[in-house]
Structure 1
Amino acid sequence: MGLRIVTVKVLNSDDSIFKMLFSDKTELLKLYNALAGTRHQNPEDLTINTLKNAVYMSLRNDVSFLIDLRLNLFEHQSTYNPNLPLRFLFYVSDLLSLITKDDNLYGEKRISLPTPGFLVFYNGQDPCPEQETLKLSASFQVSEAPPRLELIIRVLNINPGHNQKLLAACRPLADYAIYTARVQKYARFMELRSAVERAVNECISENILKDFLEKNRAEAIHVSIYEYDMERHMRQEREDSFAKGLSQGEAIGLSKGEAIGLSKGEARGLEKTSCLIRLLLADGRLHDLQKASEDPEYLKKLCEELNIA
């Protein structure tokens, strides 16, 4: 029996550079081989289908496929999103419905399912560890050990200097990381279209995604501008929400302090908050910083963890 791979695409191939690149059978097979340590050679064994559902409009960076009896869902992210496990749960449920649509769910014979795997490639501008794990159970309002339902996503940082062994094993992923890093770099001091065009021109001249960018130049520029605009918008929204949360917290703290005459307590509270912010920023723990701004109990927990009395 020959190798069988089924790729299920969420949207059209022009939704993101990642999806444009890895919707190509040859490039996707290279990525899988690098991650799994396999040496599959024939991309024509790969069959592409389409799953159409409005629920997945936000999963525009996604590529999913079945190989070696494993159902793999890959996505790229440039912003932190703690709800990825929930989104992937919705997605994999519909994928399994598609895969088993001709099976008898009420029969006595157990239906065999492919083993799922979930992977996110992170290339955003906020600090992120080399590798981390996101769990669906972290969203449950009541914690159980072990949880009765779980979905685990492995997040890999592919920014320059991270996961170099993987990038060395997969040239398309390494080139993708270089290209997106240049767009981010030039967009800091150039008009966005000019920044993208400069990154495209440089990468072509340096043989970085050369064939892909030459073949899809106009579309790649258009999609890159859209992607970066979206990333910048989401980052600004997050920063605005954090600033608003801090401002409201300070106002409430000051109001209560004045009401009971605890001016020293107010000052100490602000000092503790300031100290916590400095320590978290120094460690690059922006996720914790954001969560602390929204959850007083988590703020208290972090203060205890960092010995801020």
Structure 2
Amino acid sequence: MLFSDKVNLLSLYNAMNGTAYSDPEQLQIVTLKNAVYMGMKNDLAFIIDTNLFLYEHQSTYNPNMPMRDLFYIASEYQKLVDGKSLYSSTLQKVPAPKFLVFYNGTKEMEDSRTEYLSEAFESLIGEPDLELKVTTLNINKGHNRELMEQCKVLGEYAQYVDRVREYVGKMGLDAGVSRAVNECIRDGILAEFLQQNRAEAEKVSIFEYNKEEEERKLREAEYEGGWEAGKQAGMKFGMDAGMKAGMKAGMIQMAREIQLEEDEIIKILCARLDVDEKTAKKMLEEQE
């Protein structure tokens, strides 16, 4: 919502690239909106100065962003060359891409990290023939300070999110979001935007916070489920092993009491415990 405004978007672009563009109309926004192919939708895509930028916002770390960006850029290029022949002798030029993710989840992360599509390739030998690089920037309060100072809107967004999380933790969801909005308007943090879009901003904030919490609970449930399944499997394995050990000891003891020969006891162990002759003989030796 904030960066669909070209003025804000240009400010972010200038801060990211050390440029000083002043005309927002130099930006051509080409964001995918529910594209037919795979139902894809990306957060923000725009062209400026013959470069194509794809920006994504994530509140949960996602290692599959290079793969997703591969689909996004393929769809963007398909749109850009539509109506042009790719079979002619003329090289069809397209804007050079740049892939960025802005992360503000609660899981700790360094200021910046870079991930590659090739990390997803199984059994890669040598240099990959296909590569795509995605840079993720941490935009939580206290991170990437220089960027936050150069792009006022991004810095204020980080402050807003920080206040939402603080107050929701103390007061609950609805009351916490409402207080964060009131304080930010009072303190001049995204004040104009929040005044004009208060209802929608609160709704989006509540939805996003709920989404984060639900994803956290889902991860906890998956962990607990995996732990319980592992525990049950371990108990079953232990019981099976214990029963087998008990059966082995009992059979050997009984066979000796009725004075069976060693080769006869080995045959019984092989048949009842489904083991080979060598294993059965070792069992018998261990029971001496």
TM-score range, shorter chain: 0.7 to 0.9
Mark the structure with the bigger radius of gyration: 2
Among 174, 188, 201, the residue aligned to 2:182 = 201
Among 168, 172, 177, the residue aligned to 2:158 = 177
Residues 69-148 of structure 1 aligned to structure 2 (within 5 Å): 69-148=50-129
Q: SS of 1:124's equivalent? A: coil
Amino acid in structure 2 at the alignment position of 1:115:
A
Matched length = 241
2:137 counterpart residue number:
156
Q: 1:253 to 1:147 in 2, by over 3 A?
A: farther
2:196 counterpart residue number:
215
Q: 1:56 to 1:185 in 2, by over 3 A?
A: farther
1:56 shift after superposition:
7.1
Q: 1:98 to 1:65 in 2, by over 3 A?
A: same
1:225 counterpart residue number:
206
1:289 counterpart residue number:
none
Q: State how far apart, in whole Å, the 2-side matches of 1:216 and 1:132 are.
A: 33
1:255 shift after superposition:
4.3
Q: Percent identity?
A: 45
2:260 counterpart residue number:
none
| The 10-residue stretch of structure 1 (229-238 or 89-98) with the greater mean CA deviation from structure 2 | 229-238
Amino acid in structure 2 at the alignment position of 1:150:
E
Q: 2:6 matched to 1:35?
A: no
Check whether the contact 2:31–2:44 (CA below 8 A) recurs between aligned residues: no
Q: SS of 2:170's equivalent? A: coil
Check whether the contact 2:32–2:41 (CA below 8 A) recurs between aligned residues: no
1:203 shift after superposition:
0.6
Q: Which runs of 5+ in 2 are unaligned?
A: 243-288
Q: State how far apart, in whole Å, the 2-side matches of 1:121 and 1:93 are.
A: 21
Q: 1:260 to 1:130 in 2, by over 3 A?
A: farther
Highest RCO, 1 vs 2 (Cα 8 Å, sep ≥ 6) = 1
Amino acid in structure 2 at the alignment position of 1:131:
S
2:252 counterpart residue number:
none
Q: SS of 2:171's equivalent? A: coil
1:244 shift after superposition:
2.1
1:248 counterpart residue number:
229
1:238 counterpart residue number:
219
Check whether the contact 1:56–1:91 (CA below 8 A) recurs between aligned residues: no
Q: 1:235 to 1:71 in 2, by over 3 A?
A: same
Deviations 1:63-105 (A, max 9, x none): 1111122111111111111222221111111101111113211
TM-score (norm 2): 0.77
Amino acid in structure 1 at the alignment position of 2:206:
I
Among 25, 44, 48, the residue aligned to 1:67 = 48
- Superposition CA RMSD, Å: 2.0
Q: 1:50 to 1:162 in 2, by over 3 A?
A: closer
Query: Which of structure 1's runs of 4+ aligned residues deviate more than 6 A?
Result: none
1:206 shift after superposition:
0.7
Check whether the contact 2:118–2:128 (CA below 8 A) recurs between aligned residues: yes
Q: SS of 1:71's equivalent? A: strand
Deviations 1:77-136 (A, max 9, x none): 111112222211111111011111132111111111211111111111111122112222
Q: State how far apart, in whole Å, the 2-side matches of 1:106 and 1:139 are.
A: 31
Q: State how far apart, in whole Å, the 2-side matches of 1:116 and 1:48 are.
A: 14
Q: 1:183 to 1:66 in 2, by over 3 A?
A: same
Deviations 1:155-203 (A, max 9, x none): 1111122111111111110001111111122122322121111111111
Q: SS of 1:188's equivalent? A: helix
1:191 counterpart residue number:
172
1:23 shift after superposition:
0.2
1:256 shift after superposition:
4.0
Q: 1:51 to 1:195 in 2, by over 3 A?
A: same
1:5 counterpart residue number:
none
Q: State how far apart, in whole Å, the 2-side matches of 1:139 and 1:115 are.
A: 23
